[in-house]
Structure 1
Amino acid sequence: MFFEKYPSAVRAALLASALVAGPASADDQSGCGEEIPCNVDNGEYYIHLPENLDDSSPLGAIFYLHGHRGKAVNAIRNKGFQRMADDLGVAFVAVQGVNGTWSFPTAPRNLRDEPVFFDTVLSDLENRFGIDRDRTMLSGFSSGGFMTWYIACEDSDRFSGYAPIAGAFWEPLPDTCPAENPYLFHVHGTSDTVVPLAGRWLGGGKWKQGDVFESFDVWRRQNGLVEEQSQKLSDGNLECERWAPEEGLFELCLHTGGHSVEAKWIKRAWNELGTIKGWDRKS
Structure 2
Amino acid sequence: MRFVFFFQVILALVAAQGAAACGPDSDCRIGDRQYRIQWPDDARAPVGAIVFAHGYRGSAAGVMRNRSLRRMAEAEGLALVALDAGDQDWSIPHAPGHAGSDGTGEFAYVAAVLDDVARRFALDRGRVTGAGFSSGSMLMWNVACEMPDRFAGIVAVAGTFWQDPPGHCATPATSVVHIHGESDPTVPLTGRAIRETWQGDVHETLEMYRRLGRFRAAEPARIDGMTCEGWRNAGGDILDFCLHPGGHSLRTSYIRAGLDRLRAAGRM
Using the size of structure 1 for normalisation, the TM-score is 0.82
Q: Which residue number in structure 1 is paired with residue 66 of structure 2?
A: 78
Assess if the C-alpha contact under 8 Å between 1:136 and 1:161 holds in 2: yes
Q: State the one-letter code of the partner of 1:195.
A: V
Quote the residue 1:216 is aligned against: 206
Indicate if the aligned counterparts of 1:152 and 1:182 stay in contact, CA closer than 8 A.
yes
Instruction: Flag the 1:238–1:36 CA change in 2: closer, same or farther, 3 A.
Output: same
Counterparts of 1:92-171 in structure 2, within 5 Å, are 92-108=80-96, 109=98, 110=101, 113-171=105-163
Q: Structure 1 stretches of 5 or more lacking a match? A: 1-14, 20-25
For 1:265 and 1:95, locate their aligned partners in 2 and report how far apart those are by CA, in whole Å: 19
Separation of aligned partners in 2, 1:211 and 1:181:
20
Q: Distance in 1 between matches of 2:214 and 2:264?
A: 25
Give 1:38-57 correspondences, 5 Å limit.
38-51=28-41, 53-55=42-44, 57=45
Distance 2:126 2:261 in 1: 15
1:170 CA displacement: 1.5
> Could you say what secondary structure the match of 1:222 adopts?
helix
Q: C-alpha distance in 2, partners of 1:208/1:40? A: 32
Check conservation: 1:49, 1:85, Cα contact below 8 A.
no
Corresponding residue pairs, total:
253
How much does 1:50 deviate? Answer: 2.0
Alpha-carbon separation, structure 1, partners of 2:254 and 2:106: 25
SS at match of 2:124: strand
Give the distance between the partners of 2:230 and 2:29, measured in 1 at CA.
Answer: 38
Please give the alpha-carbon distance, in whole angstroms, between the structure 1 residues aligned to 2:24 and 2:104.
24
Pick which of 269-278 and 76-85 moved more.
269-278
What is the aligned partner in structure 2 of residue 10 from structure 1?
none
Does residue 254 (structure 1) correspond to residue 238 (structure 2)? The answer is no
> Who is 1:207 aligned against?
197
How far apart, in 2, do the equivalents of 1:196 and 1:224 lie? 26
Q: Could you tell me whether the CA contact under 8 Å between 1:35 and 1:77 is conserved in 2?
A: no
Q: Secondary structure of 1:187's partner? A: strand
Deviation at 1:130, TM superposition (A): 1.5
Rate the CA distance shift 1:278–1:220 in 2: closer, same or farther, 3 A: closer
The answer to whether the Cα contact below 8 Å between 2:148 and 2:170 also exists between their aligned partners in 1 is no
Identical columns (%): 35
Among 5, 26, 29, the residue aligned to 1:36: 26
Q: Output one character per residue of 1:161-218: Cα deviation in whole Å (capped at 9) or x when no partner.
A: 1001000112132123223111101100001000000000000xx2010000111011
2:77 aligns with 89
Q: Tell me the residue number matched to 2:257.
A: 268
Taking the aligned partners of 1:106 and 1:242, their CA distance within structure 2 comes to: 28
State the shift of 1:74 in Å.
Answer: 1.4
Compute the TM-score of the two structures, normalised by the length of structure 2: 0.87
Task: Determine helix, strand or coil for the equivalent of 1:173.
Answer: coil
Shift of 1:28: 5.7
1:277 aligns with 2:266: yes
CA RMSD of aligned residues (A): 2.2
Do 1:101 and 1:143's aligned partners in 2 also have CA atoms closer than 8 Å?
yes
Unaligned runs of 5+ in 2: 1-10
Distance across 2 between alignment mates of 1:268 and 1:77: 21
Question: Are the counterparts in 2 of residues 50 and 86 from structure 1 also a CA contact under 8 Å?
Answer: yes
- Displaced runs of 4+ in structure 1, greater than 4 A? 26-30
